[in-house]
Amino acid sequence: MIDHLPILQVIVPLLAAPICLILREAQLVRWFTLIASVFAFVISVLLLQQVQAHGTLIYSLGGWDAPIGIEYRIDQLNAYLLILVTSISSVALLAAGTSLQKELTERKETYFYVAYLLCLAGLLGILTTGDAFNVFVFLEISSLASYTLIAMGRDRRSLWASYQYLIMGTIGATFILIGIGMMYMMTGTLNMYDLAERLPEVQQTKTVFTAFAFFMVGVCLKLALFPLHLWLPNAYAYAPSIATVFLAATATKVAIYVLLRFIFSVYGFEFSFSHLPLKEILVALGLMGIFAASIVAIYQNNIKRLFAYSSVAQIGYMILGLGIGSKTGLVATLLHLFNHALMKGAIFLALAGVVYRVGSVNIKAFAGLGKQMPWTMGAIVVGGLSLIGVPLTVGFVSKWYLVLALLESNWWPIAILVLVGSLLAVIYVWRLVEAAYFRPALQDSAPYKEAPLMILIPTWILVLANIYFGIDTSFTVGLSEQISASLFGVAK
């Protein structure tokens, strides 16, 4: 059993999806999905234990060894993200039943869970596999599932948002496929570790550079790096609330994982950062993302869109950390990966509560909510403080490392820019605070009740996680430092 953990991680949600279709009954499906997700979470925790105890796990699919068969490889980086994805997915599913009752018709509910599980399976597949083509396959599974999830939104604009994402996502996937194809052409292998061994022999060829470029652009599209982020705000804004929670907290993070894996493990740090001006590109795009997206966020009246733009900005921070090209910088990226998932998870879940009671996430609808829904708004405020990077929240920890990394590299001006960027976060968070706490409630509506417990509880689980991991950083920082060291170790 223990030996088969890597494949179980993927197979559990993948098989659970069709079973949902057999079960049909919405209530049943809901609990079944939750159980499957929690089961996946347990597996990921066991995997991390295994990795910490025995080092990298290698699992050959069907007993066929690589390079003939497909190989699954779990090291600390994979295990770290597996835990992130499965835990957020489980917490989001806790709230799903209640939230979806309002946002979907019952018949659609089952399909929602099917798509959700497929998306989860796809993301977990990307994280476990050690095969480049397999990455593409799972990427498509998760993407197609997420187009479906987004299209289920109540607002008809969700169809358009989903279509937009479909077009952009397909372009991204095609680029990735072209990249992988070229790599295969040059090396004759698809296994990442074989690739890593064979690429240096041919690394001066134009084809390899082109492959790298195609691949990077494709992945950056998937992770919504500015200026390739255009699909993201609409997708997050119009998707059903629970889908937004799940996608915002996990999908882009997994794409960043792919980026890290190929930069560090496949091509190697030397190739990525020395032969190409990747450092400059990433730093410039990261910074531009932080500023452009934050400024746009300030002017949004749809709060889900506002936080979607904020996500684009936060991705900018992660990419910036990576672009520094130092161990501390990578620690900052890895920390922010985890921490941002906690923040946005909490915020979007709280917004799910608002949608449930108020039915709108327009800033006007927030008038007076501070008094009427104190726990929900409290969650958003804590999440917002974390986004800003106030001490004792997770946001502070990642910002601390990012600034430290910038200072270590003697990039003072950029450190200042990063901090100025967090001030922009203050502005957009505070617009919401003012609306919720200072504007009197609209006269014509009856006072809204606090969000239902089944939404509040998962929201506050994530809020408390925001504070807990902001104080006890041993898990996140410890693991990030180990991962960073090992990724740079591989590069040598």
Partner 1 sequence: MIDQNVLMQLIIILPLLAIPGIIAFGKWANLREAVTLIAGGLLLVAVIIFYQGFDSGQTAYVKWLELLPGLDISFRAEPLGVLFSLVAGSLWVVTSIYAIGYMRGHGEVNQTRFYACFAVAISAVMGLAFADNLFTLFVFYEVLTLSTYPLVTHAGTDKAKQGGRTYLSILLATSIGFLLLAVVGTWWQAGTLTFTEGGVFDENTSIVAASVLLVLFIFGIGKAAIMPFHRWLPAAMVAPTPVSALLHAVAVVKAGVFTVLKVCVYIFGIDLLRDIPATQWLLYLAAASVLLASLVAMRQDNLKKRLAYSTVSQLGYITIGALLASQAGILGGALHIVAHAFGKITLFFCAGAIMVAAHKTEISDMRGLGKAMPITMIAFFIGSLSIIGLPPAAGVWSKWYLLMGTLDTHQWVVMSVLMLSSLLNIAYLLPIPLRAFFPGTGQVVKVERSAIKEAPLPSLIALSITALMTMILFFWPDIFYELAASLAGLSGGVNG
Q: Which is nearer to partner 1, 108 or 439 (CB)?
A: 439
Q: How near is the Cβ of 261 to partner 1 at its closest, in Å?
A: 27
DSSP string, 261-282: IIIIIIS-HIIIIIISTHHHHH
DSSP string, 44-60: HHHHHHHHHHHSSEEEE
Q: Which is nearer to partner 1, 141 or 429 (CB)?
A: 429
477 in contact with partner 1 (CB under 8 A)? yes
Contacts of 127 (CB under 8 A, 6+ apart): 78, 81, 82, 85, 254, 257
Residue span 427-466 as binding mask against partner 1, x where in contact by CB under 8 A, dash where not: x--x---x---x----------------------------
Question: How many other CB atoms are found less than 10 A from the CB of residue 49?
Answer: 13
Number of residues lying near partner 1 (CB under 8 A):
29
Q: Are 245 and 348 in contact (CB under 8 A)?
A: yes
Contacts of 331 (CB under 8 A, 6+ apart): 321, 401, 405, 477, 480, 481, 484
CA 267, 173, 92: angle at the middle one, nearest 5? Answer: 100
Tokens 């502005």 label which residue?
Answer: 427
Q: How near is the Cβ of 440 to partner 1 at its closest, in Å?
A: 9
Dist CA 116 CA 30 (whole Å): 11
202 in contact with partner 1 (CB under 8 A)? no
The two three-digit tokens of residue 316, written as one number:
């900018």
**Torsion angles phi and psi, residue 268, rounded to 5:** 90, 145
Q: How near is the Cβ of 389 to partner 1 at its closest, in Å?
A: 7
Dist CA 410 CA 426 (whole Å): 26
Q: How near is the Cβ of 284 to partner 1 at its closest, in Å?
A: 21
Q: Which is nearer to partner 1, 15 or 392 (CB)?
A: 392
Residue span 137-156 as binding mask against partner 1, x where in contact by CB under 8 A, dash where not: --------------------
Q: Which is nearer to partner 1, 15 or 471 (CB)?
A: 471
The two three-digit tokens of residue 394, written as one number:
């997770």
Q: Which is nearer to partner 1, 91 or 418 (CB)?
A: 418
Q: How near is the Cβ of 339 to partner 1 at its closest, in Å?
A: 13
Q: Which is nearer to partner 1, 28 or 392 (CB)?
A: 392
Dist CA 251 CA 306 (whole Å): 18
Q: Which is nearer to partner 1, 325 or 384 (CB)?
A: 384
Dist CA 387 CA 466 (whole Å): 10
Q: Are 117 and 130 in contact (CB under 8 A)?
A: no
Q: How near is the Cβ of 36 to partner 1 at its closest, in Å?
A: 36
Q: Which is nearer to partner 1, 11 or 419 (CB)?
A: 419
Number of H helices and E strands in the chain, helices first, is 21, 2
Of 375-434, which residues contact partner 1 (CB under 8 A)? 385, 388-392, 397, 400, 403-404, 407-408, 412, 415-416, 419-420, 422-423, 426-427, 430, 434
The two three-digit tokens of residue 301, written as one number:
């009246």
Mutual angle of helices 252-260 and 327-358, in 10-degree steps: 170
Q: Which is nearer to partner 1, 151 or 330 (CB)?
A: 330
227 in contact with partner 1 (CB under 8 A)? no
Q: List contacts with partner 1 (CB under 8 A).
A: 385, 388-392, 397, 400, 403-404, 407-408, 412, 415-416, 419-420, 422-423, 426-427, 430, 434, 438, 470-473, 477
